[in-house]
Structure 1
Protein backbone atom coordinates (compact mmCIF):
# COMPACT_ATOMS: atom_id res chain seq x y z
CA UNK A 1 0.00 0.00 0.00
CA UNK A 2 1.42 3.38 -0.97
CA UNK A 3 1.02 6.16 1.53
CA UNK A 4 0.84 9.78 0.39
CA UNK A 5 4.25 11.37 0.59
CA UNK A 6 6.17 8.10 0.68
CA UNK A 7 8.50 6.46 -1.78
CA UNK A 8 8.82 2.73 -2.34
CA UNK A 9 12.59 3.05 -2.43
CA UNK A 10 15.28 5.60 -1.72
CA UNK A 11 16.30 7.82 -4.64
CA UNK A 12 19.40 6.52 -6.41
CA UNK A 13 22.63 8.48 -6.71
CA UNK A 14 21.53 11.69 -5.04
CA UNK A 15 24.02 11.61 -2.15
CA UNK A 16 26.27 14.64 -1.98
CA UNK A 17 28.40 13.19 0.82
CA UNK A 18 29.11 9.80 2.37
CA UNK A 19 26.82 8.57 5.18
CA UNK A 20 28.27 7.41 8.50
CA UNK A 21 26.46 4.95 10.77
CA UNK A 22 25.60 6.95 13.89
CA UNK A 23 22.95 5.84 16.39
CA UNK A 24 21.38 8.31 18.78
CA UNK A 25 18.04 9.64 19.95
CA UNK A 26 17.17 13.05 18.53
CA UNK A 27 14.10 15.19 19.07
CA UNK A 28 11.72 17.03 16.76
CA UNK A 29 10.35 20.20 18.37
CA UNK A 30 8.44 21.54 15.36
CA UNK A 31 7.32 20.56 11.87
CA UNK A 32 6.37 22.85 8.99
CA UNK A 33 4.36 21.57 6.04
CA UNK A 34 2.71 23.63 3.32
CA UNK A 35 2.84 26.77 5.48
CA UNK A 36 1.33 25.04 8.54
CA UNK A 37 3.49 24.92 11.65
CA UNK A 38 3.01 22.34 14.38
CA UNK A 39 4.95 22.82 17.61
CA UNK A 40 5.27 19.94 20.05
CA UNK A 41 4.98 20.57 23.80
CA UNK A 42 6.66 17.20 24.25
CA UNK A 43 9.26 16.78 21.48
CA UNK A 44 8.86 13.73 19.24
CA UNK A 45 11.64 11.20 19.80
CA UNK A 46 13.32 9.97 16.62
CA UNK A 47 16.11 7.43 16.14
CA UNK A 48 19.09 8.74 14.21
CA UNK A 49 20.69 5.88 12.26
CA UNK A 50 23.16 7.65 9.99
CA UNK A 51 24.55 11.08 9.34
CA UNK A 52 26.55 13.04 6.77
CA UNK A 53 27.61 16.65 6.29
CA UNK A 54 24.35 17.33 4.47
CA UNK A 55 21.80 14.97 5.91
CA UNK A 56 20.38 12.54 8.43
CA UNK A 57 18.77 9.12 8.25
CA UNK A 58 16.08 8.61 10.89
CA UNK A 59 13.46 6.08 11.95
CA UNK A 60 10.19 7.19 13.53
CA UNK A 61 6.85 5.78 14.64
CA UNK A 62 5.31 8.85 13.03
CA UNK A 63 5.28 9.63 9.32
CA UNK A 64 6.45 13.01 8.09
CA UNK A 65 5.49 13.63 4.49
CA UNK A 66 8.03 14.49 1.80
CA UNK A 67 9.01 18.21 1.81
CA UNK A 68 8.05 18.67 5.48
CA UNK A 69 10.63 20.76 7.37
CA UNK A 70 11.58 19.43 10.81
CA UNK A 71 13.23 21.47 13.56
CA UNK A 72 15.52 19.14 15.48
CA UNK A 73 17.56 19.06 18.67
CA UNK A 74 20.42 16.59 18.60
CA UNK A 75 23.60 15.68 20.39
CA UNK A 76 26.77 14.47 18.66
CA UNK A 77 29.55 13.16 20.88
CA UNK A 78 28.11 15.06 23.87
CA UNK A 79 27.85 18.36 21.93
CA UNK A 80 24.30 19.73 21.73
CA UNK A 81 22.88 21.32 18.59
CA UNK A 82 19.48 22.99 18.75
CA UNK A 83 17.11 24.19 16.06
CA UNK A 84 18.69 22.24 13.23
CA UNK A 85 16.39 22.55 10.20
CA UNK A 86 16.05 19.52 7.93
CA UNK A 87 13.74 18.78 5.01
CA UNK A 88 12.20 15.34 4.44
CA UNK A 89 13.52 14.16 1.08
CA UNK A 90 12.02 10.66 1.10
CA UNK A 91 9.98 8.33 3.30
CA UNK A 92 9.86 4.53 3.36
CA UNK A 93 7.53 2.35 5.46
CA UNK A 94 9.34 -0.33 7.49
CA UNK A 95 6.80 -2.52 9.31
CA UNK A 96 5.19 -0.29 11.94
CA UNK A 97 7.89 2.38 11.56
CA UNK A 98 8.93 4.92 8.94
CA UNK A 99 12.42 5.59 7.67
CA UNK A 100 13.08 9.14 6.51
CA UNK A 101 15.93 10.72 4.60
CA UNK A 102 16.48 14.33 5.70
CA UNK A 103 18.54 17.10 4.15
CA UNK A 104 19.96 19.63 6.60
CA UNK A 105 19.65 23.09 5.12
CA UNK A 106 20.95 25.46 7.79
CA UNK A 107 24.17 23.76 8.78
CA UNK A 108 25.99 26.08 11.19
CA UNK A 109 29.76 26.39 10.96
CA UNK A 110 30.16 24.53 14.26
CA UNK A 111 27.89 21.64 13.20
CA UNK A 112 29.49 21.51 9.73
CA UNK A 113 32.97 21.19 11.26
CA UNK A 114 31.77 18.53 13.68
CA UNK A 115 30.16 16.48 10.91
CA UNK A 116 33.28 16.83 8.80
CA UNK A 117 35.42 15.51 11.67
CA UNK A 118 33.46 12.26 11.93
CA UNK A 119 34.97 9.38 9.98
CA UNK A 120 33.75 6.03 8.67
CA UNK A 121 34.95 4.07 11.70
CA UNK A 122 32.61 5.79 14.20
CA UNK A 123 29.73 3.68 15.46
CA UNK A 124 28.04 5.32 18.43
CA UNK A 125 25.06 4.17 20.44
CA UNK A 126 23.38 6.52 22.91
Structure 2
Protein backbone atom coordinates (compact mmCIF):
# COMPACT_ATOMS: atom_id res chain seq x y z
CA UNK A 1 0.00 0.00 0.00
CA UNK A 2 1.36 3.50 -0.87
CA UNK A 3 0.97 4.92 2.64
CA UNK A 4 3.01 2.11 4.15
CA UNK A 5 5.72 2.45 1.48
CA UNK A 6 5.92 6.19 2.18
CA UNK A 7 6.20 5.53 5.92
CA UNK A 8 9.01 3.01 5.37
CA UNK A 9 10.83 5.34 2.93
CA UNK A 10 10.65 8.27 5.37
CA UNK A 11 11.95 6.07 8.18
CA UNK A 12 14.84 4.98 5.97
CA UNK A 13 15.59 8.60 5.06
CA UNK A 14 15.67 9.60 8.73
CA UNK A 15 18.03 6.72 9.51
CA UNK A 16 20.45 7.71 6.73
CA UNK A 17 20.34 11.40 7.66
CA UNK A 18 21.14 10.57 11.28
CA UNK A 19 24.41 8.99 10.13
CA UNK A 20 25.49 12.30 8.53
CA UNK A 21 24.56 14.96 11.10
CA UNK A 22 26.35 15.90 14.31
CA UNK A 23 25.40 14.47 17.70
CA UNK A 24 23.64 17.70 18.75
CA UNK A 25 21.59 18.05 15.54
CA UNK A 26 17.95 16.98 15.45
CA UNK A 27 16.43 14.84 12.70
CA UNK A 28 12.69 14.23 12.85
CA UNK A 29 9.64 13.59 10.76
CA UNK A 30 7.30 16.54 10.44
CA UNK A 31 3.77 16.07 9.17
CA UNK A 32 3.06 13.29 6.70
CA UNK A 33 5.85 13.74 4.18
CA UNK A 34 8.61 15.88 5.65
CA UNK A 35 11.88 15.22 7.39
CA UNK A 36 13.27 18.22 9.25
CA UNK A 37 16.95 18.58 10.10
CA UNK A 38 17.72 21.23 12.74
CA UNK A 39 21.39 22.17 12.90
CA UNK A 40 21.98 24.74 15.65
CA UNK A 41 24.90 27.16 15.48
CA UNK A 42 25.44 26.52 11.78
CA UNK A 43 26.04 29.08 9.05
CA UNK A 44 23.97 28.94 5.85
CA UNK A 45 27.10 27.87 3.98
CA UNK A 46 27.73 25.00 6.40
CA UNK A 47 24.06 23.98 6.12
CA UNK A 48 24.41 23.83 2.32
CA UNK A 49 27.50 21.62 2.69
CA UNK A 50 25.59 19.39 5.11
CA UNK A 51 22.71 19.15 2.64
CA UNK A 52 25.21 18.01 0.03
CA UNK A 53 26.50 15.28 2.32
CA UNK A 54 22.94 14.21 3.07
CA UNK A 55 22.06 14.08 -0.62
CA UNK A 56 25.18 12.02 -1.37
CA UNK A 57 24.38 9.58 1.45
CA UNK A 58 20.79 9.18 0.27
CA UNK A 59 21.88 8.70 -3.34
CA UNK A 60 24.36 6.01 -2.25
CA UNK A 61 21.84 4.22 0.00
CA UNK A 62 20.84 0.76 -1.22
CA UNK A 63 17.21 1.89 -1.38
CA UNK A 64 18.00 4.78 -3.82
CA UNK A 65 16.38 7.23 -1.43
CA UNK A 66 17.47 10.40 -3.25
CA UNK A 67 14.48 9.99 -5.58
CA UNK A 68 12.31 11.14 -2.68
CA UNK A 69 14.22 14.32 -1.85
CA UNK A 70 13.16 17.90 -2.36
CA UNK A 71 15.00 20.22 -0.01
CA UNK A 72 14.75 23.81 1.16
CA UNK A 73 16.91 25.78 3.54
CA UNK A 74 15.77 28.20 6.23
CA UNK A 75 17.98 29.93 8.79
CA UNK A 76 16.93 31.20 12.23
CA UNK A 77 16.39 33.89 13.25
CA UNK A 78 16.41 35.60 9.82
CA UNK A 79 13.73 33.30 8.37
CA UNK A 80 11.75 32.70 11.55
CA UNK A 81 12.06 31.64 15.14
CA UNK A 82 9.55 28.78 15.37
CA UNK A 83 9.70 25.38 13.72
CA UNK A 84 6.55 26.14 11.73
CA UNK A 85 7.96 29.44 10.41
CA UNK A 86 11.21 27.79 9.38
CA UNK A 87 9.48 24.82 7.73
CA UNK A 88 7.19 27.19 5.82
CA UNK A 89 10.17 29.16 4.47
CA UNK A 90 12.10 25.98 3.62
CA UNK A 91 9.09 24.54 1.75
CA UNK A 92 8.62 27.77 -0.19
CA UNK A 93 12.28 27.79 -1.19
CA UNK A 94 12.11 24.14 -2.24
CA UNK A 95 9.13 25.03 -4.45
CA UNK A 96 10.93 28.04 -5.98
CA UNK A 97 13.94 26.20 -7.37
CA UNK A 98 15.25 22.66 -7.39
CA UNK A 99 18.50 23.10 -5.52
CA UNK A 100 19.80 24.36 -2.23
CA UNK A 101 21.95 27.28 -3.20
CA UNK A 102 22.09 30.77 -1.76
CA UNK A 103 18.45 31.87 -1.31
CA UNK A 104 16.36 33.61 -2.43
CA UNK A 105 17.63 33.62 -6.03
CA UNK A 106 18.43 30.44 -7.95
CA UNK A 107 22.10 30.11 -8.82
CA UNK A 108 23.32 30.16 -12.41
CA UNK A 109 23.49 26.35 -12.44
CA UNK A 110 19.78 26.18 -11.65
CA UNK A 111 18.84 28.84 -14.21
CA UNK A 112 21.08 27.54 -16.99
CA UNK A 113 21.02 23.78 -16.46
CA UNK A 114 17.66 22.21 -15.78
CA UNK A 115 18.22 19.03 -13.85
CA UNK A 116 21.41 20.31 -12.18
CA UNK A 117 22.36 18.56 -8.93
CA UNK A 118 20.00 19.32 -6.06
CA UNK A 119 22.77 20.69 -3.86
CA UNK A 120 25.78 22.64 -5.11
Does the alignment reach a TM-score above 0.5? Answer: no
Asked which structure has the greater RCO (Cα within 8 Å, sep 6+), the reply is: 1
- Taking structure 1 as the reference length, the TM-score comes to 0.27
- Taking structure 2 as the reference length, the TM-score comes to 0.28
